[in-house]
Chain A
């Protein structure tokens, strides 16, 4: 098995629409019951804002959803080993999640430019 100890997840979160797909895709991967999902989800989506930055400008908003993996996240290593994508990466409706070695993700984050986060388990 490959070494995933230095892997993480990248979130281009300016595109995260709070569709919750990562949360339920993760539940399916972890084979959780609805109760377990309620009590210890593998990833949650947090909300920042909304902040209205300038009352005279109807378009000046700061409002984002930010997916944050929890302790249950196992980076889907069994899926990766089987040649599949991580469940949240694959199913995300906004395609805003990537997975890989942290150094590669750091380069991707620089490329993406703004509103991007990296999670290291």
Chain B
């Protein structure tokens, strides 16, 4: 469907309105909400929703509505800057020209490549932003290093789910069916409304994960869909009339999954036809599930057995969609959670059917291209990726290093030294995508040279940046929004430049401009970047996107701008039609050609081929000797409308909605600790400590607290040691380094024990930054029976 108005319109008052699909920066997932941006006299003066956009239909979130404040924020960095290495941590930046920036950075890149090898350069990428498309080619092709790092411990965000899907289903990311592929949406004759959508460790309304427009759930609820929430908290969504809640202990998702499968199998509610024709290992799975009857699962998860039975019976009705969330990834037991989730969809016959779980190809379009740029790497370098050989299950599906292994390498210079860091849209010291961020901080300071690309000054940039390259916002550059980064492309949207403030360069402009300057032909003698024609961004950027879309879709970037949104349609039951496997045969693109309820690959990699449950490793149950000292479970990371992870706290309109991070505590628990609403609370465990403000709610279990992630204070002193207060509310300090599952995936980001106490204020908390001390904690972690005396000693040293 072509949108009716031209994408660029001049208004009677002389202003110009540009239609666009929103992505980033600042942070967001590729949701591509349709909007009209109006510019007058070089200022973004208005943002309006685009009612012709088939999915968002005029609706916008507050982060998009606040774009004028964001674009013209005095907090923004809009010129390249440099800082002397000895001034790291000090606000002593000097504005430079882009020519100087290119000269400095290219000189360093060539020096490290020649002196230490290209592998001595390490690129960090953050989450969600469009940088997720471009930080891979930036590394593989522009800089020609194999080392790209997403620093989240155990890669515990999206990557595990994608990898598990690849191994179990041989497909791209399974997403709920919300008829996004069709321009006529829910009216499409092939679409069926899901009876139930299971939101498992996911709150799509605020998170919009990977491009799923969360409020499509509300659209479907209005048509009759009911939601089943599996979550440690009762959420507003779960509390809607007719919706159903499985409120579980944090980190026990695998037990819940096995319990649900137990009921479905024991009560004979399976889709026998699908199991017989398309599943491998059902008998083995059934035998495993027998170990998890609902009464036992109630003990493990705290969810009532009767409620488990009720949900299991609902999940056996068709069609049912499962929205699996970040909680799947953020547990050392997460691979098993993902496995049992897919198994549940399979044994109930809900895979690739209308209203069920949709499947895309493992990668496509820009998502595929970004990985293929590794052709520009010397093949020897590919195997040198940090941790690639040690963690094949991770390095086979992900093109990155192993994140925890990477921190070890930075600290020890083994297996080889890392000299240069490049942060592309990652502020990982803020409690977002890293565990033990103090260790990362100290490790970054070892690097010889550090480049940071971002929108604003961040604690990460202030701590270690030597050159700062400023990014334009989503309103200020051309691009393509691709949902799920090409792993299940519900649609493509055109992002159009409405204005440009200062002298900034987008991710793709950086790739191309540095690529052309570094003149980096790959082993095949061709250069990825020189083919994009023109010397200015209005030429080479559209040419880049046209060269992405033309071969596969038959239209160029200008045509995408004109149609606004491209929805490809969807072919259901692809497995039966030979549309999933590369050889064109029916079945799934796995080793056995079936959905692997029993994973042949997990088996080969030394992991249990069947899903199993593991008690959270740092809980009062797994450490009874510490249960009295750390009696509560801490979960974290619930999304908010006014911010994206560590972003958006500089903008008053958005900050208004949450001034300080809150720790949710049940009133009974709070009164036991003498804590009242609004009190400052210190939350601590053997790994670290953080302060947040008490919010007393009955929607959380008395044995659990929920803390906010991503908090730092842009209004505070940015210089070391305060670094915008990045250590004060930093809950990732309470998460241990390298506590992953056997395959190298997952980390206990959402399930560690803790204690709480009332304190006077946010300040007065000093965290001693000592590598030795935090390393002691790792030693401690390796001990089988932990001596509480050690904890006391280390803990008191850890806090000065």
Residues of A within 8 A of B (CB): 14-15, 17-21, 23-25, 27-28, 34-35, 37-38, 50, 52, 58-59, 61-63, 65, 85, 90-96
- Kindly name the residue among B59, B219, B699 whose own CB sees the greatest number of chain A CB atoms within 10 A: B59
Kindly identify which residue among A35, A90, A95 contacts B219, using a CB–CB cutoff of 8 Å.
A95
CA distance A92 to B51 in the complex (A): 12
Shortest CB-to-CB span from A98 to chain B, Å, is: 13
Most buried by A among B62, B219, B241, B247: B62
A80–B237 Cα distance when bound, in Å, is 32
- Is B234 located at the chain interface by the 8 A CB criterion? yes
Q: Are A93 and B59 closer than 8 Å at their CB atoms? A: yes
In the complex, chain B residues whose CB is within 8 Å of the CB of A96: 218
Judged by a CB distance under 8 angstroms, whether B445 is at the interface is no
B695-706 vs A, CB cutoff 8 Å, 1 = contact: the mask equals 001110000000
Chain B residue numbers with a CB within 8 Å of A21 are 59-62, 65, 641
Least distance between A48 CB and chain B CB atoms (Å): 11
A50, closest chain B residue (CB) = B699
Residues of chain B lying within 8 A (CB to CB) of residue A25 = 60, 65
Main secondary structure of the interface of B (DSSP, over half): loop
Given contacts A61-B234, A61-B239, contact A91 B221 (CB under 8 A): no
Give the secondary structure class of A's interface: mixed
Give the complex CA separation of A18 and B653 in angstroms: 16
Q: Which B residues, 634 to 688, have Cβ-Cβ distances below 8 Å to chain A?
A: 641-642, 651-653, 656-657
* A84–chain B nearest beta-carbon distance, Å: 8
Residues in A with CB closer than 8 Å to B236 are 17-18, 63, 65
Min CB distance B213 to A, Å, is 9
User: Given contacts A21-B60, A34-B653, are A14 and B698 in contact (CB under 8 A)?
Assistant: no
CB atoms of B59 and A91 under 8 A apart: yes
User: Nearest residue in B to A49 (C-beta to C-beta)?
Assistant: B239
**6 pairs of A and B residues whose beta carbons are closest in the complex:** A34-B652, A61-B239, A24-B62, A93-B215, A24-B65, A63-B239
B799 within 8 A of partner (CB): no
What's the least CB distance linking A16 to chain B, in Å?
9
Interface residues of B in 232-276 (CB under 8 A from A): 234, 236-241, 243-247
A-facing residues in B108-136 (Cβ within 8 Å): none
Q: Give bound CA distance, A50 to B239, whole Å.
A: 9
Please indicate the chain A residues that have their CB under 8 angstroms from the CB of B245 in the complex.
Answer: 58-59
Q: Is the CB of B61 within 8 A of A95?
A: no
Docked-complex contact A52 and B243, CB < 8 angstroms:
no
Complex contacts, A15 vs chain B, CB 8 Å: 218, 221-222
Closest to A92 in B: B59
Does B409 touch A at the CB level, under 8 Å? no
Docked pose: A93 CA to B218 CA in angstroms: 9
Q: What separation, in Å, do the CA atoms of A18 and B69 have in the docked complex?
A: 21
Interface pairs (14), CB distance under 8 Å? A14-B240, A20-B642, A23-B62, A34-B651, A50-B234, A50-B239, A50-B698, A58-B246, A61-B238, A61-B239, A85-B58, A92-B59, A93-B214, A95-B59
**Complex Cα distance A24/B49, Å?**
13
B244 touches A37 (CB 8 A): no
| Minimum C-beta distance from A52 to chain B (A) | 6
Q: What's the nearest-Cβ distance from chain A to residue B625, in Å?
A: 32
Q: Which of A19, A58, A95 contacts B247 (CB 8 A)?
A: A58
Q: A25-B60, A37-B653, A93-B218 are in contact. List 10 more A-B contacts (CB 8 A).
A: A17-B215, A17-B218, A17-B237, A19-B215, A21-B62, A21-B641, A28-B46, A35-B652, A38-B652, A50-B698
